[in-house]
Chain A
Amino acid sequence: MAPRKRPKLAVWKFSSCDGCQLSLLDCEEDLLAISEAVDISYFLEATRKPAKGPYDISLVEGSIATAHDVETIRQVRRQSRTLITIGACATAGGVQALRNFKNVKSFISRVYAHPEFIETLDQSSPISDLVAVDFELRGCPVNKAQLLEVLSATLNGRKPNVHKHAECIECKMRGNVCVTVAKGEPCLGPVVQAGCGGLCPSVGRGCFGCFGPTETPNTAALAEKFAALGLDPRDIQRQFRGLNANAEAFRKESERHGN
């Protein structure tokens, strides 16, 4: 069979820590297969010579947090046939979206020695707030197996097997004992999308919520459970104000427990 023309892959970074794009490099034994399946055309973390667009698949990491980001993402969208956002920053605004609840200027003056050099937007936003996104892959960072699955599915024209249901389902499939029921640990699992494979409960602690809200998160009922476990409103708010603080369901729930 004639080898198909290798689609061009680009990997982009916006406001983020690089962890998600490194998940791609972290694919180790599959890296060779990836480079055979796609032409890695633009990936500053991995290649020396970026190739010009357009690109068949763009993986976008990071949130929109500066005026420059706003410009660049529009260019990226124009050059990309399929645009996939990867990670909590790109899909929900990331941990830097904590600024969205406060006045960003007050942080800048406290954090930086020369605040006058800092140019930033008031809000950190997901990519989908600015441009059309073809698929959003959650996680902080993304799970490399899911990243491979999304790439394989995209290359082969099928729907990725990425679930939007609760982390609890993965956790139970793994055989974990529920940390909330057996230890009284607050755990976000029931309202957090599966994807990590039940990482934190496997080491005896509650879910942080790296993969953002499920398809139908009943955050109010979980917040009530947290209160029954002894968390005060501020602690409950902190539960929902983590890596996916700006995801709508978590943002709204956190706002119910103070500002």
Chain B
Amino acid sequence: MTRISGTKVVFGRPELDRLIALLRADGYRVIGPCIADGAVVYDEVTSTEDLPEGWRDDSQPGRYRLDATGDGELFGYGLGAQGWKRFLYPPRQMLFRAEKAGRGFRIQQRDDDGTPPLAFLGVRACELAAIGVFDRVFHQKGFEEPGYLRRRTDALVIAVECARAADSCFCVSMHTGPALPAGYDLRLNEVVDGTRHVFVAEAGSERGAALLDRLSVDVPPPALVAEAAGQAEAASRQQRRRMDPDVAGILARSLESNHWEEVAKRCLTCGNCTMVCPTCFCTTVEDVTDLSGNNAERWRTWDSCFTIDYSHIAGGALRQKASSRYRQWMTHKLSTWHQQFGVSGCVGCGRCITWCPVGIDITEEAAALAQAEGTSAAGQGHLAESPGDAGQGR
């Protein structure tokens, strides 16, 4: 019988393989952690052989390395380099095709990328929170993103709780982890020691429970349950980085801070932070024609508030300076997002810190802004930009 929440079971690696095989047989494309180009990335997995066995990440500002542990752990790393965003909301989506018909166009095909249902293996607490943010963004009254909603509704989520934190993590201070909240179909804790390599599992939905029913599982001894339950706490204790709890207020009061110019000296305006952020959802829409002009396509592609074109309106781009672009990103993420969506736009995953080529740390910038409060040149308006000051951009 189905066992939702509360009933914990335990199984070994062969059953995890069976779970992957069952999902694949059910028509899911299973996406999980793999090693590629020196990092953990999320990609299609066909068995536990594909998982990053014995690898642990060292994620620091602007520096990422994998260390071999040799302990056989499959989920010993923290996060994939990019999140699940690229599967739920792909970088390039064709919205429709159109063919010339008289003086107008006839729409030929609407968004349906035909991807099979996805099963995500190894979703962390902060990533569940990020998917929750996406749900709010793409499922609002008056704005529903059909492609996202279909992929999201189909997706099966197998969460794995973190047993340790990376240097870049700060989910504790964002109240998003490391303990798994609700929102998964199945949750796992991986326990590896000298004598055993097991997964303590629990269902979070009917779908998850039905899956567990098809596996051969045991009742975990209380000591094992306790060990699994202690993992998230250990990961919490490891976290050194934290976001100032008043960051929304600090940012709202810091619009004119001199500190933005300080960040701008270091910021490359490369947009990597927005690309790897699991909640950054901005896109641009482009129409393309073929040479004849008889066929057109409309594409939606990921965009970034760090580009000039992003703020381009009639008369020019509003945010020429790096300072105003960084300010826009950080202030939206951590302050105005609350007004817009009722939650923080940051879940504390630390990806923007790790994958910023120059290691700009959003938590440190928040702390610096807090410190600069009171010493700022409020009222000078040095950040006020009009489309006319294009020449000042750096």
Contacts and interface: CB of A to CB of B under 8 A. Distances in A.
Contact of A165 (B307, B322, B355, B356): B307
Contact of A216 (B81, B269, B289): B269
B110 interface: no
A112 B265 CA distance: 45
Interface in A142-164: 148-149, 151-153, 155-156, 158, 161, 163-164
Interface in B236-281: 265-272, 275-276
Contacts, number: 139
B289 A221 contact: no
Contact of B268 (A34, A148, A190): A190
B357 A161 contact: no
Interface string B314-354: 00000010100000000000000000000000000000001
A177 B307 contact: no
Contact of B309 (A34, A165, A172): A165
Contacts of B267: 218, 221
A152 B37 contact: no
B308 interface: yes
A173 B288 contact: no
Interface string B23-36: 00000000000001
B38 A182 contact: yes
A180 interface: yes
B39 A182 contact: yes
Contacts of A165: 271, 304, 306-309
B13 interface: no
A152 B291 contact: yes
A185 B358 CA distance: 13
Contacts of B41: 175, 177
Given A164-B308, A169-B304, A225-B358, A177 B37 contact: yes
A177 B288 contact: no
A181 B307 contact: no
B99 to A, nearest CB: 12
B90 to A, nearest CB: 9
Given A182-B38, A215-B307, A172 B289 contact: no
Contacts of A34: 291
A216 B393 contact: yes
A36 interface: yes
B92 interface: yes
Interface string A103-115: 0000000000000
Contacts of B139: none
A94 to B, nearest CB: 25
B268 A222 contact: yes
A141 interface: no
B308 A168 contact: no
Contacts of A24: none
B292 interface: yes
Interface string A13-36: 000000000000000001001101
A149 B270 CA distance: 24
A38 B301 CA distance: 30
A27 to B, nearest CB: 10
Interface of B is mostly: loop
B63 interface: yes
A187 B36 CA distance: 18
B275 to A, nearest CB: 4
Interface in B341-386: 354-358
B163 to A, nearest CB: 23
A1 to B, nearest CB: 8
A238 B320 CA distance: 29
B193 interface: no
A107 B286 CA distance: 47
Given A36-B292, A148-B291, A152-B289, A177 B268 contact: no
A178 B357 contact: yes
B268 A191 contact: yes
Given A169-B307, A187-B357, A216-B393, 20 more contacts: A36-B292, A156-B293, A161-B286, A164-B308, A165-B304, A168-B272, A168-B275, A169-B275, A173-B301, A175-B82, A177-B38, A178-B64, A178-B81, A178-B272, A179-B37, A182-B39, A190-B268, A218-B265, A218-B269, A221-B267
Q: Which 9 A-B pairs have the closest CB atoms?
A: A172-B275, A190-B270, A173-B91, A37-B291, A165-B307, A190-B268, A177-B37, A168-B270, A166-B270
17 contacts: A37-B292, A156-B293, A158-B289, A164-B308, A164-B309, A165-B271, A166-B306, A168-B271, A169-B271, A173-B92, A181-B63, A189-B270, A214-B269, A216-B269, A216-B322, A218-B322, A222-B357
Interface of B: 36-39, 41, 62-65, 81-82, 86, 91-92, 265-272, 275-276, 286-293, 301-302, 304, 306-309, 320, 322, 354-358, 393-394
